[in-house]
Structure 1
Amino acid sequence: MLPILKNRAFFPGIVDEFFGRDFLPNLFEFQTGINMPSVNIIEGKEDFRIEVAAPGLEKGDFRINLENNVLTISSEKEEKNEEKEERYMRREFSYTSFRRSFSLPQTVEAEKIAANHNNGVLTITIPKREEAKVKPAKQIEIM
């Protein structure tokens, strides 16, 4: 086997091509202090699944948008903590936010995308179109 064929980087799969990198790079992550949640991307026979680990966030804290085949997952949560003592008052405000965008392949059924939130994990299911699904091998008869 040629050495170039061993390197998978020359032959990216559909997951690598469309989901492997965020559509917009996280250039400002360290400058703004935004905490990006971990994301798993899984390709099944029938669909793609994006799992976002976001403990402490609830279903209502997320926004999921699809525009021009770009799926954007975002969240913004504000927490206020106020303590009053006899002679002083202390207020602390905390903001948690993130935004991740993924370019979807043309082979998905965008109108059937569904999302579910369970135990701090947001799961987005992106069904494949029929022509993109893995088909079983077909035996061809020799005439």
Structure 2
Amino acid sequence: MTLVKFNPAKNNNGSLLPGFSDVFDSIFNDTFFNDRMISRVPAANISESEDHFHVELAAPGLKKEDFKLNLDRNVLNISVESRQEQNDQQKNYSKREYSYASWVRSFTLPETANAEQIDATYTDGVLKIDIAKREEAKAVRRQIEIR
């Protein structure tokens, strides 16, 4: 049996079925349901240039000190752990959504990546990671003459 919140005092705007919209409100406005619909892991773009692999993560609202980058057996782990500060004791919140949870993104580096040359920068809410390619993996380009 599912419990549905019903508020008879709520104005139903002349609805023929009073309480019908309450069923949908209870489903779609429920915190448990909404928290699972919102992805808390940042989106990533992965690209490749002639001499580097590039990883970009959209992670606004953080500081570069919040990030931890680790390389373990060709797996690049990017993690953030931040806690919600409880300094607003005077306010009585009915809902509070300003917070960041912990998350980890892991990327397996290809064999052609040079694990010794990884650079990371964080600007304008985007973490950019550049991973150099090994010399033998860089594309060799030359003009071939036709005889």
Asked if Structure 1 and Structure 2 have the same fold, meaning a TM-score greater than 0.5 normalized by the shorter chain, the answer is: yes
Cα pair distance change 1:114/1:104, threshold 3 Å: same
Cα pair distance change 1:83/1:67, threshold 3 Å: closer
1:80 aligns with 2:85: yes
Is the CA contact 1:41–1:51 (under 8 Å) kept in the aligned structure 2? yes
Is the CA contact 1:82–1:90 (under 8 Å) kept in the aligned structure 2? no
Greater RCO (Cα-Cα under 8 Å, separation 6 or more): 1
**Cα displacement (A) at 1:108:** 1.0
The aligned counterpart of 2:61 is 56
Structure with bigger gyration radius? 2
**Could you list the per-position Cα deviations for residues 69-124 of structure 1 after superposition, in whole angstroms to 9, with x for gaps in the alignment?**
00001101112133344xxx758794422101011111111011111111111101
Unaligned runs of 5+ in 1: 1-28
**Cα displacement (A) at 1:137:** 3.4
TM-score under structure 2 length normalisation: 0.64
SS at match of 2:85: strand
Question: Which AA in structure 2 matches 1:53?
Answer: A
Question: Is the strand fraction higher in 1 or 2?
Answer: 1
Unaligned runs of 5+ in 2: 1-34
1:121 aligns with 2:129: no
What CA RMSD, in Å, does the superposition of the two structures yield over aligned residues? 2.7
Question: How do 1:11-26 and structure 2 match up within 5 A?
Answer: none
